[in-house]
Structure 1
């Protein structure tokens, strides 16, 4: 028997081998007309499915060319602005109504909304000894990984986990929507205690509180929050609840659901997708960039100073040298992102309440000057504007929510959209999703072990 090989030494000698034998000639993608990232050459997404859940619209095609238009986001055909104005005018939370709309395809009546909110409240408590055995005894330094593990473990507490009937998947979906805030809050508290040496606070969810109110109460030692804080977090949940079937995590839901597997496996896969820095972690990049700007621009009110530093970022001379102004631009939206517009309005209220108006104006200045600088420096005619990530991190910072919870907050909201897409795939999909990959390696002969070099 051969002696054991040290892992570090083995990787030192094989990493480059792995790289060499997994690098595909970039010209072959054009040769075979491969839609890399399921994108067309103009950047638009390849049409791979149909949905009635969400619509994302940012441009129209005019004689084969994309023409920018104001951004539009619809949930089940209803403009997001109308949904937000509706619940804000009534002075009530909107996430519960939004989740019902996404799941069932219609706005709930007063009775239906009360019943649905009550069902969510009754199902927030985690089963059995789940908190102690799964969350506290096995803490994680990353809340998204902890959320994924918790979701998979819930499979073991489900009396009927494999049943993919509509009734059973609905039951599982509602339970997950109810429990996600608790799983995230408790996962965060466990991390704070076991990794950061902080006091452990496990506040039980309160049935009379909304999803947003419960989350704020559960992550704060004193359980206190203001009405403005609850309203803006609720708005954030509504704006992040759904974004069409083509975003990476929702498409993951369709792909994995099409394989006819259980709900917990599907949602855990979606969490893994959302965790990625190119998907759910974008607002963290914005916050990091803004801290860099604040540290390097002496006078935030001096537009010229701000402009000069943004120019350096675009020229890859400052911040992370990527040449990107994070939070500006979007894969679909061009002239505007409706989510950013709605969140900005509420952010202004919170900035005033928390005495952060000066920083809020810095955000606005950057949003105003970046499109012009981008066009001049990049020599690009691409139309860009602030996306929702540009303001969401700032909002969470004003809410005194730690950075490691930014992406989990996204998951708390998006579980509603994921659940709707899972139901749609089960009901209307019918075929396992299997796109084609063309092999571009030539035929090779098998070499006996004794002859290999």
Structure 2
């Protein structure tokens, strides 16, 4: 047995080296053939590959053929996200459900339409018999995103019309997924917490009279208790994460897989795999971990100079994970400001005061202010940088006592609304299968018989 293990280790080491060296492409070739790496131009603008009416991300205007950065704007179906948030918050109501309706159907619902929609989601907010026991509790995952993806794929086996891609059937599938995502995410965490963390197991059934945000807190907490402000901030997080245009990685994946004619469950599982990545949905976990390191290494949280020195160390790969990144600062599209972060920040201070996190909130504010200055000193930039939505979202989740394992799943609970809208849009417009070009740059070789190699 020992020899087999040693042989395996030796072979894997050799094969890993071969796999690495055989896949290196000369970086100069990307410039030579004008490859838009990441489907982006050198100035950061995305390569236009499609049209959408669902979400719009704006960060610049063009004047005399020059890009001029502007404060970022995010629009859902043509409506500014700040107006959406102001609208439902001034009535002291929750906004995620009406946001889902807007993204799916193109217009804001009236009172009767919203009531009917909420009742439909409430009816769909249940899992098949024995699903929790057989799919979630019997195979707890160390990563809840994988647990959600497995559950989504299991829905395929339980759906007699799984491969029916008519709009009526796809809409029904999507609505059921929107309703059930909070359950499979929270139950997946409870299973993880119990079997991998030796903690008590709590399985609370959702309540039909509660909003999505309220149900998450109700099912997650042992005593099912929460405050109005806590539910309001979680609901706000769901609204802000629900959609971000067709070009973000997971929504683009949704379009790509949908264009192949695949089923809803395979499409959403693929989108989940994309969102799991730390460059996409997993970024807020890195922000909270980075701030824990800041708190350990910066003695005076009110000293701008000491904080900036630490940020410079981050950028020079001498602190935290030595990646050279200040997590939560900078965005692929926004430069002057991320509108989601701006909106979030307006409300985070209230929760920090209620929870006794005011000193930490002040530290976040200082890092937000000093980070762009540090980046400007250390790096040559094509554009400015600002705090993105991940900068504050992880902090909010911590104040809500939401475990880090659920940070990205909560993003998924929200973004399933946008994915569903993009899937339906792709089907309705009957586009071609998405197949961008890759140029082969390998030299021609002759086949050599095995005895002559």
Match of 2:46 in 1: 45
Q: Which residue matches 1:252?
A: 253
Who is 1:425 aligned against? 426
CA distance in 2, matches of 1:429, 1:40: 27
2:43–2:382 Cα contact (<8 Å) kept: no
Q: Which residue of 2 aligns with 1:25?
A: 26
Following the alignment from structure 1 to structure 2, what is the Cα–Cα distance between the partners of residues 323 and 131?
42
Q: Indicate the residue corresponding to 2:217 in structure 1.
A: 216
- In the other structure, the counterpart of 1:181 is 182
Q: Matched residue of 2:17: which SS? A: helix
Distance 1:126 1:353, change over 3 A: same
Deviations 1:93-128 (A, max 9, x none): 100000000000110111110011001111111012
CA distance in 2 between counterparts of 1:153 and 1:40 reads 39
C-alpha distance in structure 1 between counterparts of 2:430 and 2:64, whole Å? 32
- Residue 304 of structure 1, CA deviation: 2.3
Kept in 1: contact 2:69–2:335 (CA 8 A): yes
Question: CA-atom RMSD, angstroms?
Answer: 1.3
What residue is the counterpart of 1:405 in the other structure? 406
CA positional deviation for 1:314: 2.4
Q: Does the CA-based 8 Å contact 1:71-1:333 persist in structure 2?
A: yes
- The verdict on how the C-alpha distance between 1:212 and 1:372 changes in structure 2, with shifts beyond 3 A counting, is same
The correspondence of residues 236-315 of structure 1 with structure 2, limited to 5 A, is 236-315=237-316
1:149-199 deviations in Å (ceiling 9; x for gaps): 000001111121100000000000000000000000000000011111111
Cα distance in 1 for partners of 2:434, 2:396 equals 38
**Aligned match of 1:34:** 35
Which residue number in structure 1 is paired with residue 146 of structure 2? 145
CA drift of 1:291 comes to 0.8
Alignment deviations for residues 326-376 of structure 1 (CA, whole Å, 9 cap, x no partner): 111111111111100111111111000001111101111111122122212
| Structure 1 position 4, deviation (Å) | 7.9
| Offset of residue 324 of structure 1 | 1.7
Tell me how far apart the structure 1 counterparts of residues 103 and 381 of structure 2 sit (CA, whole Å).
37
Is residue 2:340 matched to residue 1:353? no
Asked if the contact 1:375–1:382 (Cα under 8 Å) also holds between the matched residues in 2, the reply is no
For 2:430 and 2:339, how far apart are their aligned partners in 1? 29
Q: Distance in 2 between matches of 1:240 and 1:105?
A: 18
1-structure distance, mates of 2:87, 2:159: 36
TM-score (norm 1): 0.97
Q: What is aligned with 2:85?
A: 84
Q: How does 1:75-114 map to 2 (within 5 A)?
A: 75-114=76-115
- Could you list the per-position Cα deviations for residues 29-52 of structure 1 after superposition, in whole angstroms to 9, with x for gaps in the alignment? 111111111111111110000000
Contact 1:339 1:387 in 2 (8 A): yes
User: Do the aligned residues in 2 keep the contact of 1:375 with 1:381 (CA within 8 Å)?
Assistant: no
Deviates more, 1:56-65 or 1:14-23: 56-65
For residues 61 and 222 of structure 1, what CA distance do their matches in structure 2 show?
A: 54
Map of 2:375 onto structure 1: 374
Query: Any idea what SS the aligned residue of 2:416 has?
Result: helix
State the partner residue of 1:115: 116
Q: What is the number of residues matched between the two proteins?
A: 450
Point out the more displaced range, 262-271 or 432-441.
Answer: 432-441
The secondary structure found in structure 1 opposite 2:24 is: coil
CA offsets 1:191-221 (integer angstroms, 9 cap, x no match): 0111111111010011011000000111111
Q: TM-score, normalised by structure 2?
A: 0.97
Change (3 A) 1:245 1:381: closer
Instruction: Give ranges in structure 2 of 5+ residues lacking alignment.
Output: none
Residue 166 of structure 1 corresponds to 167
Residues 59 and 332 of structure 1 are in contact (CA less than 8 Å); yes or no, is this contact kept in structure 2?
A: no
Distance 2:67 2:399 in 1: 37
Aligned residue for 1:386? 387
Shift in Å, 1:7: 3.4
5+ residue gaps, structure 1, are none
1: CA distance, partners of 2:399 / 2:93: 21
**Secondary structure in 2 matching 1:331:** coil
Deviation, structure 1 residue 322: 2.4
